[in-house]
DNA sequence: TTCATATATGCATATATTTGCATCTGATTG
DNA sequence: CAATCAGATGCAAATATATGCATATATGAA
């Protein structure tokens, strides 16, 4: 298989791992620092099983790393810049001329809360 | 729906559009400039129907834009920086310590052919 | 009509979501 | 110090839904 196809396949694979709202949220949350499964579940507002299973997908693909402490398992991003990269992706949605006002508003807020507009700033900093 | 969820959902949507090897390849090809369907099909080495269907996905999600000229339809990236952003994503695969040697080789070559390692360089430049 | 491209249909495969159960760990009690 | 209990997490089976792909058919320009 030509190298281009290998690389394209791998990239597509990564994208498919990221192609789930829960997993995007998880990565964004972990961009602010490690969290245990329960906290993540609470923030996402979904079932613990769903949280756990999406974490498993991220874990299997080495997007996150786990650390056990007592009965809690803490997750963190294997590569913290990943969160920043994802955040940058927002601009490709915003660039869409037909993006609705509500959507644009959401992005604006998300950028403010999740991270910074500065290109060089790669980590999410604020909470709310 | 909280703004975070909206943004996460939209991001996940984009990722799912990108989560297909053919579509990644198409975006990479278009990163070098516009191309008509036939050329794309030839480069990808897949059926015309498959090419057309994947272009439809990209078109529907406004990743690409079409221009008709006679009986040929030329596609180009709506937002050329998208190709660069995708290329940047390669490093998250490479960061994976367990990436196989073959894979790493493919990425190395891909980077050389498709674009540059420099962070600021956002477009694919070379052909081969 | 022919060439270039798009779309529709149907089937196979993959992915997501829920429900229920298993396991591990730390705390409590007898 | 067991024996037991509850919390935290993972995993599996069942079902629903989505996606990919080939084949066939349609549009539209030359």
Each residue of B61-114: pLDDT tens digit? Answer: 999 999 999 999 999 999 988 888 888 887 776 655 455 666 666 666 666 666
Residue A117 has pLDDT above 50, yes or no: no
Q: What residues contact B89, with CB distance under 8 A and at least 6 apart?
A: A11, A14, A15, A85
Q: What is the dihedral of CA A33, A39, A43, A49, to 10 degrees?
A: 120
Q: What is the pLDDT of residue A86?
A: 87
Instruction: Provide CATH code, domain A3-77.
Output: 1.10.10.10
- Which residues of chain B does A88 touch, with a Cβ-Cβ cutoff of 8 Å? 85
| Three-point CA angle B35, B46, B81, nearest 5° | 40
Q: What percentage of residues in chain A have a pLDDT greater than 70?
A: 77
Is the CB of A126 inside 8 Å of chain B's CB atoms? no
pLDDT (0 to 100) of residue A122: 32
pLDDT of residue A109: 73
Quick one: average pLDDT of A103-128?
A: 52
How far apart are the two ends of chain A, measured CA to CA in Å?
47
pLDDT confidence tier of residue A93, bands split at 50, 70 and 90:
confident
CA–C1' gap, A50 and C18, in angstroms = 9
Q: Is the pLDDT of residue A87 over 80?
A: yes
Contacts of B122 (CB under 8 A, 6+ apart): B80, B81, B83, B84, B85
E strands, chain B, in order = 35-36, 64-69, 72-77
Structural domain boundaries in chain A? 3-77, 80-128
CB contact under 8 A, B4 and A105: no
Query: Which carries the bigger pLDDT value, residue A121 or residue A102?
Result: A102
Closest-CA residue of A relative to B1 is: A106
Model confidence band, residue A35 (pLDDT cutoffs 50, 70, 90): very high
Evaluate if residue A110 carries a pLDDT over 50: yes
Could you tell me how far CA A98 lies from the centroid of its own chain? 25
B21-66 pLDDT, tens digit per residue, is 999 999 999 999 999 999 999 999 999 999 999 999 999 999 999 9
For residues B53 and B40, the answer to whether their CB atoms sit within 8 Å is no
The pLDDT of B5-20, averaged and rounded, is 93
- Looking up tokens 């099983």, which residue turns up? A49
Instruction: Please report the number of interchain residue pairs, chain A to chain B, with beta-carbon separation below 8 angstroms.
Output: 143
Measured from Cα to the C1' atom, the residue closest to C6 is B52
Q: Report the C-alpha gap between A82 and A63 in whole angstroms.
A: 8
B55 Cβ partners below 8 Å, 6+ apart? B26, B37, B40, B64, B75
Look at residue B99 in the predicted model and tell me its pLDDT: 57
**Burial of A31 by CB count in 10 Å (0-12 exposed, 13-18 middle, 19+ buried)?**
buried
Q: What is the mean pLDDT of residues A93-100?
A: 60
Residues 88-127 of A with CB under 7 A from strand C: none
Residue nearest to nucleotide C19 (CA to C1'): A49
Q: Using the beta-carbon criterion (under 8 Å), do A8 and B24 form an inter-chain contact?
A: yes
């Amino acid at each position: 298989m030509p190298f281009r196809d290998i690389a394209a396949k791998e990239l597509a694979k990564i994208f498919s791992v990221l192609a789930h709202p829960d997993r995007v949220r998880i990565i964004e949350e972990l961009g602010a620092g490690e969290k245990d499964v329960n906290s993540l579940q609470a923030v996402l507002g979904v079932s613990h099983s769903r949280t756990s299973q999406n974490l498993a997908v991220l874990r299997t693909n080495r997007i996150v790393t786990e650390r056990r402490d007592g009965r809690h398992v803490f997750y963190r991003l294997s590569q913290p810049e990943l969160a920043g990269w994802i955040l940058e992706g927002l601009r490709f949605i915003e660039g869409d001329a037909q993006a609705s006002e509500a959507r644009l508003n959401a992005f604006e807020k998300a950028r403010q809360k999740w991270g910074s507009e500065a290109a060089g700033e790669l980590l999410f900093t604020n909470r709310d």
